[in-house]
Amino acid sequence: MKKYLLSLVLFEALMLFGTKVLADDCPEGVVRCGVTEDGLSWQISNIKDENDMPVTLSDGQPAQQLTITGTEAMQEYSRRGENIAPWKDPNFVKGNSAPTISKIVIEEGITSIGVRAFEDMTSVRSVSLPDGLKSIDVAAFNCCVRLSEINLPSSLETLEGYAFYATRLSNIELPQNLQRIGGLAFGYNSHLSDITIPENTYIDKQAFEAESGAVFIQNVYCSGSNASCQDLKNRESMSGKVQFYHSDGGTYFYDNRWYASPNDILSNNHIKKRIYTVDEANKISGTTNTFKIRYK
């Protein structure tokens, strides 16, 4: 009878948290692991440095990496309660929903990051996303207040509202095929100073606003043919922050007002954060309107 009750408790725990209860059930070196309801496998392991020594967080806890593998789209989650993501603290109410996870790796095959999948994981500093990823859904990284490193793959098409709200991103490059940026997607990002919006990307006019209406970004560079950027420019909160460039319709921009740093003027480098006018560029290079700058 006792054995039956124990088995029942373990089964209920698996159903409730979507995780394997014992570390012994996971691969060697994995602290915790499981399979989500939509069939994605996940595991948490301790991070080690180049000398194979454990890395610790500021509070002395081990720094850990969350790795997620599988195919197709990730399911939606809730901020708290029964539908909270299984790699988070099931009893989370407020604060840090996964105190030890500082790195997230999403393996190739996953096509979307689910709603609220990593919300409130305030220890996360870096995220690796795979080629083939199509969308980052609503509030996926909302309130990941230490997140400063992320790569956005060229396959990304949609970046929904609150996706990176209240993060620490300072240098982010948007892929050229990005189709949509939702409202408050980059809201309350005090470290993000400049960003370039691809030519065919729709951007919500509140993309850079905090819930309070505050805007921290300094410069938004848009193609002259991007109508949604004009709506963005017309907002009082974005006054003087939206600048326009002109595209040749391909992968280069030329004869326009905006150029990269002096060292990039005669190269094929990506557009950088510091932008110079044509006059400034001419003084540096001694030529007129001959520069071509590659844009991702």
At 84, the pLDDT band (50, 70, 90 cuts) reads very high
Token representation of residue 52: 């194979």
Counting every residue, how long is the chain?
Answer: 296
Work out whether strand 149-150 and strand 180-181 pair parallel, antiparallel, or are unpaired. Answer: unpaired
Statement: residue 237 has pLDDT above 50: yes
Q: How confident is the model at residue 221 (pLDDT cuts 50, 70, 90)?
A: confident
5 close to 57: Cβ distance less than 8 angstroms = no
Q: Is the dihedral of CA 83, 145, 154, 219 positive or negative?
A: positive
Q: Are 77 and 115 contacting, i.e. CB atoms less than 8 angstroms apart? A: yes
Q: CB count, 10 Å around CB of 255?
A: 13
Contact 41, 20 (CB under 8 A): no
Tell me the pLDDT of the chain averaged across its residues.
Answer: 82
Whether residue 6 has pLDDT greater than 90: no
Question: Does residue 285 sit in helix, strand or coil?
Answer: helix
* Cβ contact 109:133 at 8 Å: no
Does 7 have pLDDT greater than 50?
Answer: no
Lookup: tokens for 38:
């939509």
Tell me the range of 45-54, 130-139, 224-233, 253-262 where mean pLDDT is highest.
130-139
Q: Which two tokens stand for residue 66?
A: 């969350």
Q: Would the pLDDT of 103 be above 80?
A: yes
pLDDT of residue 253: 44
Q: What percent of the chain has pLDDT over 90?
A: 60
Question: CATH code for 1-169?
Answer: 3.80.10
Rounded-to-integer distance, Cα 115 and Cα 61, Å? 28
Q: Which run of H or E residues covers position 106?
A: strand 101-106
Are the C-beta atoms of 207 and 183 separated by less than 8 Å? yes
Residue 101 has pLDDT above 60, yes or no: yes
Quick: pLDDT tens for 13-38.
444 444 444 456 898 889 999 999 99
The domain limits of the chain are 1-169
Maximum Cα–Cα distance across the chain:
88
Section 262-286 average pLDDT? 48
Which tokens hold the place of 110? 């996953």
* Reported confidence tier of residue 11, pLDDT bands at 50, 70, 90: very low
Decide if pLDDT at 152 tops 90: yes
